[in-house]
Amino acid sequence: MAVFDSLLMVHICAGFLALSSAIGAVATKTFDAPHSWHKVFGTTYFYAMLIIFLTAIPMAIMHSGEFLFLVAIFGFYLAFSGWRAARNRQGIPQKSDWAALWIMGLGAIAMFGYGVLLLMADSGFGIVIIVFGGIASLLVVSGWKRLRAGGFKGRERIARHVGMMLGGTIATTTAFVVTNFEVEPAWLLWLGPTIVITPVITWWTRKIKRGDPISGLVAN
């Protein structure tokens, strides 16, 4: 139990760090702050998400937390893909990009299966995991098409960076609200951040792809 409590503490601290650094990364990009600060916040966010993922694995095993494990995979895939889009300026797909895509594909299948099992057991969380699985599937299909076509380049690369990083932020925001608030039915609270933030991501990435000026996002 002491080991689990220690992992939980690290997990929570990493979650707080990921959420705060995500806010910092958005702020330093939208308000024309020095690019170096955006890079610092973005890098901090990525490694915080990595810690969240690595601590979620043993925690899920110790407490049979399949839900925690699958959501952790989903959140880290988003953060990893966004981080890769920022670092891989040429946009040429690497083995790590394909590996992440395959892992997320398997995770999406597992989400659907687990969601169905939860619904059969009259658990409202089945809706949550199926919705996440659907989103993951769409991301995997679109990512597979782009990687086969040569990768994400130009404005599409920047849009992917912004979209996936903000997508990962949905996971950390969800963890924060479900930990600190209570709403019935509970699945509404789990899906709330997705419902609120997804339209913002769609609007932002579309403007980037069109080349509309949004601070320094398109220029970088």
Write the DSSP string, 145-210. HHHHTT---THHHHHHHHHHHHHHHHHHHHHHHHHH---SSHHHHHHHHHHHHHHHHHHHHHHHHH
pLDDT over 70 at 105, yes or no: yes
- What pLDDT sits at residue 28? 79
Lowest mean pLDDT segment, chosen from 90-99, 134-143, 174-183, 210-219? 210-219
- What pLDDT sits at residue 99? 93
- What pLDDT sits at residue 218? 43
pTM across the whole model: 0.83
